[in-house]
């Protein structure tokens, strides 16, 4: 499938066409509770514009968290439950967006998932960091683009989702968090319904002011710069030996868009 990156012209068009393209505060409305996320629209403009395009079109309505990995991430934005077909369906993506690894993957931040072999392949899927994942995700695959952070007491909802039992239903649902569903249900192959899924009923814009992130203090991604310098100094043009050793010794999990896992 051909992928088309967001150009500067595309972003300018979005800003001109809709005031909500300047939105920096959105609310995730879920069956586990609502929480707010402040977006970094000034420093990761392409990513925020891409995310808001899905929000404004209602593409995230009735999607669900399809991947939960304790002490790592929860991931969504890729699949919805179609009640007419009585099955999960992949949402249509709007083309890929250029990578913007400006900020560090720290606890409580939201970042874009992407293909393991292409830094500029993020489309609709995103994830929340459950802990500081910077040692891995700030340098892996060109660095994962952090484009906002959970504010207020919102992490209580995110962490409650992460505490749900997980089930391996195969394919992209190897770590699927479910509500009101037990190991006995899985053993009996009871069908999974919307009553079991961690559904996102909607993501809505709360504040379209372009300066709502002024008081935030995200951590810069400095590891990607160091990795780049080491790569420039390497005759092979690859990551330096200490970076490769770090990744191997920690046994860190790779993170990709679910459709290609």
- pLDDT tens-digit profile of 53-109? 999 999 999 999 999 999 999 999 999 999 889 899 999 999 999 999 999 999 999
On whether the CB atoms of residues 111 and 105 are closer than 8 A, the answer is yes
**Contact partners, residue 168, CB within 8 Å, separation at least 6:** 174, 175, 176
CATH pick for 8-260 out of 3.40.50.300, 3.30.56.10, 2.40.30.10, 2.40.100.10: 2.40.100.10
On whether the CB atoms of residues 212 and 25 are closer than 8 A, the answer is yes
Residue 18 has pLDDT above 50, yes or no: no
- Kind and range of the H or E run holding 6: none
On whether the CB atoms of residues 74 and 161 are closer than 8 A, the answer is yes
Q: What distance in Å separates the CA atoms of residue 199 and residue 197, rounded to the nearest whole number?
A: 5
Which pLDDT band, with edges at 50, 70 and 90, does 30 fall under? Answer: very high
What pLDDT score was predicted for residue 119? Answer: 96
Residue 81 C-alpha from the chain's centroid: 19
Average pLDDT over residues 159-181: 97
C-alpha distances in Å from residue 147, one per residue of 139, 174, 205, 230: 16, 26, 15, 26
What pLDDT score was predicted for residue 19? Answer: 37
Per the model's pLDDT, the better-predicted residue between 11 and 84 turns out to be 84
Q: Taking all residues of the chain, what is their mean pLDDT, rounded to a whole number?
A: 83
CA-only gyration radius of the chain, Å: 18
Query: What are the structural domain ranges in the chain?
Result: 8-260
Which pLDDT band, with edges at 50, 70 and 90, does 24 fall under? Answer: confident
Residues 127-147 have pLDDT tens digits of 999 999 999 999 999 999 999
Q: Choose the weakest-confidence range: 131-140, 156-165, 202-211.
A: 202-211
Predicted TM-score (pTM) of this structure: 0.82
């Amino acid at each position: 499938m051909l992928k088309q990156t967001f150009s500067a012209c595309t972003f300018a068009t979005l800003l001109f066409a809709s005031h909500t393209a300047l939105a920096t505060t959105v609310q995730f409305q879920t069956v586990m509770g609502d929480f707010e996320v402040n977006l970094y629209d000034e420093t990761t403009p392409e990513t925020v514009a891409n995310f808001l395009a899905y929000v404004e079109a209602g593409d995230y309505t009735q999607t669900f968290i399809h991947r939960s990995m304790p002490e790592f991430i929860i991931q969504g934005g890729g699949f919805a439950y179609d009640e007419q077909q009585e099955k999960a369906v992949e949402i249509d993506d709007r083309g890929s967006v250029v990578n913007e690894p400006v900020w560090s993957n720290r606890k409580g931040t939201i970042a874009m998932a992407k293909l393991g072999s292409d830094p500029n392949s993020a489309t609709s899927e995103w994830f929340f960091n459950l802990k500081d994942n910077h040692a891995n995700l700030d340098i892996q695959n060109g660095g994962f683009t952090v484009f906002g952070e959970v504010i207020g007491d919102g992490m209580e909802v995110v962490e409650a989702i992460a505490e749900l039992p997980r089930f391996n239903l195969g394919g992209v649902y190897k770590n699927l968090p479910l509500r009101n569903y037990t190991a006995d249900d899985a053993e009996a192959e009871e069908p999974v319904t919307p009553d079991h899924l961690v559904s996102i009923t909607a993501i809505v814009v709360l504040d379209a002011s372009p300066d709502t992130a002024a008081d935030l203090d995200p951590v810069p991604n400095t590891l990607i710069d160091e990795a780049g310098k080491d790569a420039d100094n390497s005759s092979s043009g690859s990551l330096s030996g200490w970076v490769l050793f770090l990744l191997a010794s920690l046994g860190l999990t790779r993170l990709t868009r679910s459709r290609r896992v």
